[in-house]
């Protein structure tokens, strides 16, 4: 088989990880070399220079990306990341994962990802707004409600989505709420979107505990990452009766706190998780190695590797983050007999409720919180059943089964649409 986009390297970048998972799925599905060529190639890549006038008048240039990995099953869909370390390879990898994730959830979308290589913590609010608007303007020709629909990811939130929606709308000459999801409610956002990814992670934890015969009441969980995914997963898990024993962010971790909501209040006041009064601090690696029932990596890629996987003591790992595990880390967890719920299933609650938001925007008719919650639960339970049945029937890991369901759906769509001309 030839690799259409990138030659395989010996290091494990997120793109290597994504390609090796795709290769395995294609082999297990007995798809052809033509399928490999089609599915391993991103359809459109836009790299842009994003100029920013800083508050002091200096002009700086940042690299921005938008990768539309697939549009076979519908418009492409995926987050916008503001992080100093992003590059094109990682953005392609994350866009590929979005493709299988949307297909696994059976949403009428392809997959995309984008971002700017910038540390948003170093921007003032006004600088963040100017950067967001200019990035939107640079990628404007290829986004739109029928083409490609961005959403928040690491380092961006509903405020950025409001600026993106406004920039697009000003250029269109009328309001286009459906161009992004994860917007504020008053601009056409959906109830339940803010917590959706964390809520979905919690549903996966609940189902995994059930399958392992562990009572959620009093079960323990450690969560790496205390952002949009980690925080809301922690809140939902506490509500289910689990004990969140430790959480961490880029500054380090905290343990020995009473409740996640209390902890969040302190973080909002001091801006730092690793020095909250009345808690004990721990490193991110120590958090990964805690003797808990459930571990939720919900920060960045490559947290669980050859180096960190051997020390994991949790029975269940639910991947809130995208691509938190390298193939070597995955093999070690499988050898240890851990039950790993893969990212494309564990965190797909976010894109499911983004889909609801887009549907509501298209119809100009908005749902109740209960409708959102019930529909999220039913789509997730359907995807879980599909993966569980496949894993059981064919003696696969849940990662293999989830990838096969997603990849098979995209391959089938390619076959049915045929090749133009």
Residues interacting with ligand NAD, by CB under 6 A? 152-155, 197, 224-230, 248-250, 284, 298-300, 320-322, 347, 350
In the bound complex, which residue of the shown chain has the CB atom lying closest to ligand NAD?
227
CA neighbor of 98 nearest in space, from 54, 151, 52, 48: 151
Nearest approach, Cβ of residue 34 and ligand NAD (Å): 31
Q: Which is nearer to ligand NAD, 167 or 197 (CB)?
A: 197
Nearest approach, Cβ of residue 180 and ligand NAD (Å): 12
> Is residue 373 annotated as part of the catalytic site, yes or no?
no
Q: Which is nearer to ligand NAD, 129 or 286 (CB)?
A: 286
Cβ atoms within 10 Å, residue 126:
11
**What are the start-end ranges of the H helices in 40-122?**
88-104
Q: Which is nearer to ligand NAD, 113 or 414 (CB)?
A: 113
Greatest Cα pair distance in the chain: 66
Nearest approach, Cβ of residue 121 and ligand NAD (Å): 9
Q: Which is nearer to ligand NAD, 316 or 348 (CB)?
A: 348
Which residues are paired to 144 by β-bridges?
148
The Cα angle at residue 168 between residues 152 and 75, in degrees rounded to 5 = 65
For residue 124 the two structure tokens come to: 């003032």
Which is the catalytic residue, given 113, 183, 264, 315? 113
Nearest approach, Cβ of residue 287 and ligand NAD (Å): 8
What's phi and psi for 168, nearest 5 deg?
-65, -45
The CA distances from residue 226 to 49, 160, 230, 271, in Å, are: 30, 19, 5, 12
Listed in sequence order, the residues at least 6 apart from 308 whose beta carbon sits closer than 8 Å to its beta carbon are: 285, 288, 289, 329
Nearest approach, Cβ of residue 300 and ligand NAD (Å): 5
Q: Which is nearer to ligand NAD, 214 or 359 (CB)?
A: 359
The DSSP 8-state label assigned to residue 144 in this structure reads B
Nearest approach, Cβ of residue 18 and ligand NAD (Å): 13
By the 8 A CB rule, do 145 and 176 touch?
yes
Angle formed by the axes of helices 349-363 and 193-212, nearest 10°: 140
Q: Which is nearer to ligand NAD, 176 or 273 (CB)?
A: 273
Q: Which is nearer to ligand NAD, 227 or 329 (CB)?
A: 227
Q: Determine the length of the chain.
A: 421
Nearest approach, Cβ of residue 321 and ligand NAD (Å): 3
Helix, strand, coil: what percent of the chain each, to 5? 50, 15, 35
> E strands within 205-315?
220-224, 243-249, 252-255, 280-282, 294-297
Active site residues: 113
């Amino acid at each position: 088989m030839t690799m259409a986009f990138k030659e395989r390297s010996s290091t494990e970048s997120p793109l290597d990880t994504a390609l090796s998972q795709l290769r395995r799925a294609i082999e297990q599905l007995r798809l052809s070399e033509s399928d490999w060529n089609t599915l391993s190639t991103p359809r459109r890549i836009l790299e842009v220079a994003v100029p920013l006038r800083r508050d002091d008048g200096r002009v700086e240039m940042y690299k921005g990306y938008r990768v539309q990995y697939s549009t076979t099953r519908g418009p492409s869909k995926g987050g916008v990341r503001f992080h100093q370390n992003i590059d094109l390879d990682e953005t392609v990898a994350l866009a590929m994962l979005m493709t299988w994730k949307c297909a696994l959830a059976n949403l009428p979308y392809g997959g995309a990802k984008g971002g700017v290589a910038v540390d948003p913590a170093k921007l003032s609010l006004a600088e963040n707004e100017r950067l967001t608007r200019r990035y939107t303007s640079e990628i404007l020709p290829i986004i739109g409600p029928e083409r490609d629909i961005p959403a928040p990811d690491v380092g961006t939130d509903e405020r950025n989505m409001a600026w993106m929606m406004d920039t697009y709308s000003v250029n269109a000459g009328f309001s286009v709420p459906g161009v992004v999801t994860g917007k504020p409610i008053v601009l056409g956002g959906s109830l339940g979107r803010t917590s959706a990814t964390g809520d979905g992670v919690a549903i996966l934890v609940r189902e995994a505990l059930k399958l392992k015969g562990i009572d959620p009441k009093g079960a323990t969980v450690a969560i790496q990452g205390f952002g949009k995914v980690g925080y809301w997963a922690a809140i939902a898990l506490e509500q289910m009766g689990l004990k969140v024993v430790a959480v961490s962010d880029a500054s380090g971790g905290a343990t020995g706190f009473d409740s996640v909501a209390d902890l969040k209040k302190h973080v909002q006041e001091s801006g730092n998780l690793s020095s909250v009064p009345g808690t004990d601090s721990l490193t991110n690696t120590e958090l990964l190695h805690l003797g808990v029932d459930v571990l939720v990596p919900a920060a960045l890629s490559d947290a669980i590797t050859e180096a960190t996987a051997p020390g994991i003591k949790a029975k269940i790992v639910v991947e809130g983050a995208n691509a938190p595990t390298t193939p070597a880390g995955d093999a070690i967890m499988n050898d240890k007999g851990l039950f790993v719920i893969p990212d494309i299933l564990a965190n797909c609650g976010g894109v499911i409720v983004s889909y609801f938001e887009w549907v509501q925007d298209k119809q100009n008719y908005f749902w109740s919180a209960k409708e959102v919650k019930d529909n999220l639960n039913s789509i997730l339970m359907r995807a879980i059943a599909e993966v569980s049945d496949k894993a059981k029937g064919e003696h696969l890991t849940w990662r293999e089964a989830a990838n096969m369901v997603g990849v098979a759906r995209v391959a089938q769509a390619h076959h049915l649409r045929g090749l133009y001309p």
